[in-house]
Amino acid sequence: MTAGGQVSRYLALFALLFGAVAAKADPLPSWNETETKASIIEFVESVTDSEADTFVPQEDRVAVFDNDGTLWAEKPVYFQFMFAMDRLKAMAKDDPSVLSSDVLKAAAEGDMGAVAQSGEKGLLEIIATTHSNLPVDAFQAEAGDWLTTATHPETGMLYTEMIYQPMLELLRYLRDEGFTTYIVSGGGVHFIRAFSEDAYNIPANQVVGTTGKSHYEVVDGEPVVMKDPGIAFIDDKEGKPVAIDAHIGKRPIFAGGNSDGDFQMLEWTTAGEGPRMAVIVHHTDAEREWAYDRESHVGRLERGLDEAGERDWLLIDMARDWERVWPRNP
Amino acid sequence: MTAGGQVSRYLALFALLFGAVAAKADPLPSWNETETKASIIEFVESVTDSEADTFVPQEDRVAVFDNDGTLWAEKPVYFQFMFAMDRLKAMAKDDPSVLSSDVLKAAAEGDMGAVAQSGEKGLLEIIATTHSNLPVDAFQAEAGDWLTTATHPETGMLYTEMIYQPMLELLRYLRDEGFTTYIVSGGGVHFIRAFSEDAYNIPANQVVGTTGKSHYEVVDGEPVVMKDPGIAFIDDKEGKPVAIDAHIGKRPIFAGGNSDGDFQMLEWTTAGEGPRMAVIVHHTDAEREWAYDRESHVGRLERGLDEAGERDWLLIDMARDWERVWPRNP
């Protein structure tokens, strides 16, 4: 055998080994080897195998995900609300007259008990005050700045460090397999867009969320889209399928959520013909994250827990199924 | 020289010739060689040349187009309204009690004069009656069926044959150069989605339009998104930049329109930083299409005509700039 022939044989052997390794590359390395992970991979393989009856063409591989509690944490309250409180304090520093009601005063003082007692009306007042009367661009820049500095009161991490590593891998895996991944969130669309591209690789046009009122005007010759007080559309519960129809125009084949606010989105997704998958992130991990479901005031999960079995929805047991939670361990 | 060598030389020559032809392939063959065509190509080349100051990364190459009068014809009235009239007649055949008002009776009899006299209120009543109380899927199937059989009262062509060949080429050219092409129309989003993919290669999630009210419900165990009477959002004039923000989340760098309903969309697009282009289809061709602008009740173009020059917006003179109008000459 010539030296050249031997090199060729080594190269062939190398290619064989490398091919075997590549074929086994784990798309979900932060997931434990449980039934959950196997089910997800089985589903993705079934819809991408062009020889199978279950094959779904690439343009129909639409996947939708809730955000709060599904892609990132939501305790003690939605992070967008933490932003609203911080922005209210900053606004009051510049102009104390902005605190024109008791609930706004309580919020600026960090009196969460009083804020909680004010109920939905109080929350909407805080959001209206802190999310309006500025152009969309300026609002998103402020939210983006806040996210680079503000830290979580319990973990001390940046909020964007509190996205779930296993879900990041799931998003990437789906995209690698020809899915288009959307966020369909009860959170505000402009707030989410301030970080969705960097954090999740999900561009602005694939973020569907609750929308505030807004209007177009020309200010000193410069056209702007201005955020107004008040809600135009609440993207929660029955609103999620309506928003999916309006924005995406196709029924998803994969949906991920974590609370009863996602119930109708999962129901809408899985009632379609052909292969469908719905997953629910079940917060079972008091040690690494939080453990909550039926009794929680954020991310309440009751009907979803009761009906997941009969509906063939997959419960992701965070404590059991996730090898790690955060991208960087704290 | 061997025979093989000669073949090689011919192949090389062929590659050279073919390469030269390919390099010169005309992206806009149905456009006459006017300044208009040159300006469009110059713009596209300027934003796609990675060496140039004017380069725009692919993810920011967002192009938005009005539909009626910009991508397809709109005379004598919006084609969606022709559909509504036909659907009303069909509904009345099944159940005459649907004609519950004078304007609905007039519409079903084809009395366009009486319909026109009823004004916007009458039009909205006809749309509400014919565009509601059925699931979105069923509505889109009906609209799709209608488009395969209904013909235009003057040209005898199918409505989908009355899309503009030069604009089809422009859409494809932009996509070939890394743009994402959106429709942003005053027409109904569900009506446009019934044909946008087939006609324009624009998928449902890239269609932004006027939206009717709708709700989610479970009917006999089957979840549906039902179309309701009434308008949720009018995607016209100041509404267009608001809808672009809500749906796309980025300011376009290219906008095409034809009427003053598109003015704010063009204004919003071209006021951004960096290279921007706005084009207006000016209907100047009474022979092959229609000639209208300031006085027309559909597609009225007045402010756009007056200000196009000072704003550096490109007027497409249909008679002068388009070598052909329709994909198939009638």
Tell me whether residues B204 and A246 touch, CB distance under 8 A: no
Tell me how far CA of residue B76 lies from CA of A27, B73, B152, B158, in angstroms. Answer: 56, 9, 9, 14
pLDDT confidence of residue B24: 65
Helices B239-247 and B263-270: crossing angle, nearest 10°?
60
Short-list B83, B35, B119, B42, CA closest to B195:
B83
User: Would the pLDDT of A9 be above 70?
Assistant: no
Tell me whether residues A214 and B238 touch, CB distance under 8 A: no
Tell me whether residues B59 and A241 touch, CB distance under 8 A: no
pLDDT confidence of residue A328: 87
Number of Cα atoms under 13 Å in the Cβ half of residue A130:
27
Residue A1 — very low, low, confident or very high, per pLDDT cuts 50/70/90?
A: very low
Tell me whether residues A241 and B222 touch, CB distance under 8 A: no
- Looking at residue A313, the DSSP 8-state letter turns out to be P
CA distance A329 to chain B (A): 32
3-state class of B72 per DSSP? strand
- Looking at residue A273, the DSSP 8-state letter turns out to be S
Tell me whether residues B204 and A59 touch, CB distance under 8 A: no
B→A interface, C-beta within 8 Å:
59, 136, 180, 189, 193, 203-205, 207, 211, 214-218, 222-223, 225, 238-242, 245-250, 264, 267-268, 271
CB-based contact A219:A230 (threshold 8 Å)? no
pLDDT confidence of residue A238: 98
Tell me whether residues B249 and A215 touch, CB distance under 8 A: no
Sequence-distant (≥ 6) Cβ neighbours of residue B237 within 8 angstroms: B260, B261, B263, B264
3-state class of B203 per DSSP? coil
CB-based contact B236:B227 (threshold 8 Å)? no
Q: Which fold has domain B28-78+160-321?
A: Rossmann fold (3.40.50)
CB-based contact A87:A79 (threshold 8 Å)? no
Tell me whether residues A189 and B268 touch, CB distance under 8 A: no
Q: Contacts of residue A214 in chain B, CB cutoff 8 Å?
A: 242, 245-246
Residue A45 — very low, low, confident or very high, per pLDDT cuts 50/70/90?
A: very high
User: Would the pLDDT of B22 be above 60?
Assistant: no
Tell me whether residues B223 and A247 touch, CB distance under 8 A: no
A246 closest CB neighbour out of B189, B250, B271 = B189
Position A3, amino acid: A
Of chain B, the percentage scoring pLDDT greater than 90 comes to 87
A→B interface, C-beta within 8 Å:
59, 136, 180, 189, 193, 203-205, 207, 211, 214-218, 222-223, 225, 238-242, 245-250, 264, 267-268, 271
Tell me whether residues B247 and A223 touch, CB distance under 8 A: no
Domain ranges of chain B: 28-78+160-321, 79-149
Q: What are A126's two structure tokens?
A: 């805080």
What pLDDT digit, counting tens, does each position of B259-311 carry?
999 999 999 999 999 999 999 999 999 999 999 999 998 999 999 999 999 99
Tell me whether residues A216 and B241 touch, CB distance under 8 A: yes
Cα(B21)–Cα(B12) distance, integer angstroms: 14
CA-based nearest residue in chain B for residue A217: B238
What pLDDT digit, counting tens, does each position of B113-122 carry?
888 888 888 9
| Residue of A15 and A141 predicted with greater confidence | A141
Of chain A, the percentage scoring pLDDT greater than 70 comes to 92
3-state class of A88 per DSSP? helix
3-state class of B271 per DSSP? coil
Question: Per DSSP, what are the bridge partners of residue A134?
Answer: A227
Q: Domain A29-77+151-321 classified CATH 3.30.70.260? A: no
Cα(A252)–Cα(A43) distance, integer angstroms: 14
Is the bond preceding B76 in cis, omega lying within 30 degrees of 0? Answer: yes
CB-based contact B128:B100 (threshold 8 Å)? no
Q: Which ipTM value was assigned to this complex? A: 0.92
- Would you call B154 exposed, middle or buried from its count of C-beta atoms within 10 A (0-12, 13-18, 19+)? exposed
Q: Contacts of residue B193 in chain A, CB cutoff 8 Å?
A: 249
What pLDDT digit, counting tens, does each position of A99-127 carry?
999 999 999 998 888 888 888 889 889 99
Q: What are A231's two structure tokens?
A: 């809600």
Weakest mean pLDDT among A109-113, B7-11, B18-22, B119-123 = B18-22
pLDDT confidence of residue A120: 84
As a three-state string, the secondary structure of A168-196 is HHHHHHHHHCCCEEEEEEEEEHHHHHCCH
Q: Contacts of residue B239 in chain A, CB cutoff 8 Å?
A: 216
pLDDT confidence of residue A96: 95
Kindly write down the DSSP assignment for every residue of B274-303, as one continuous string.
S--EEEEEE-B-TTTS-B-STT-SSS--SH
Q: Contacts of residue A223 in chain B, CB cutoff 8 Å?
A: 241, 264, 267-268, 271
Q: Which helix (H) or strand (E) holds A94?
A: helix A79-94
**Mutant choice from B180, B210, B245 vs A, greatest count of A C-beta within 10 A:** B245
Tell me how far CA of residue A111 lies from CA of A125, B122, B277, in angstroms. Answer: 15, 54, 51
Tell me whether residues B267 and A223 touch, CB distance under 8 A: yes
A225 closest CB neighbour out of B180, B207, B242 = B242
Q: Contacts of residue B207 in chain A, CB cutoff 8 Å?
A: 249
Number of CB pairs < 8 Å for A and B?
82
Q: What are A172's two structure tokens?
A: 């990437």
**Mutant choice from A242, A263, A303 vs B, greatest count of B C-beta within 10 A:** A242
pLDDT confidence of residue A3: 57
User: Would the pLDDT of B19 be above 80?
Assistant: no
User: Would the pLDDT of A26 be above 60?
Assistant: yes
Which region holds residue A219: left if phi is over 0, alpha if psi is between -120 and 50, else beta?
beta
Tell me whether residues A271 and B203 touch, CB distance under 8 A: no
Residue B10 — very low, low, confident or very high, per pLDDT cuts 50/70/90?
A: low
Q: What are A137's two structure tokens?
A: 């661009």
Cα(A69)–Cα(A317) distance, integer angstroms: 13
Q: What are B328's two structure tokens?
A: 């198939």
Distance of CA B91 to the CA centre of its chain: 28
What pLDDT digit, counting tens, does each position of A267-287 carry?
999 999 999 999 999 999 999
Cα(A47)–Cα(A68) distance, integer angstroms: 27
Q: Radius of gyration (Cα) for chain B, nearest Å?
A: 23
pLDDT confidence of residue B1: 47
pLDDT confidence of residue B13: 64
What pLDDT digit, counting tens, does each position of B40-88 carry?
999 999 999 999 999 999 999 999 999 999 999 999 999 999 999 999 9
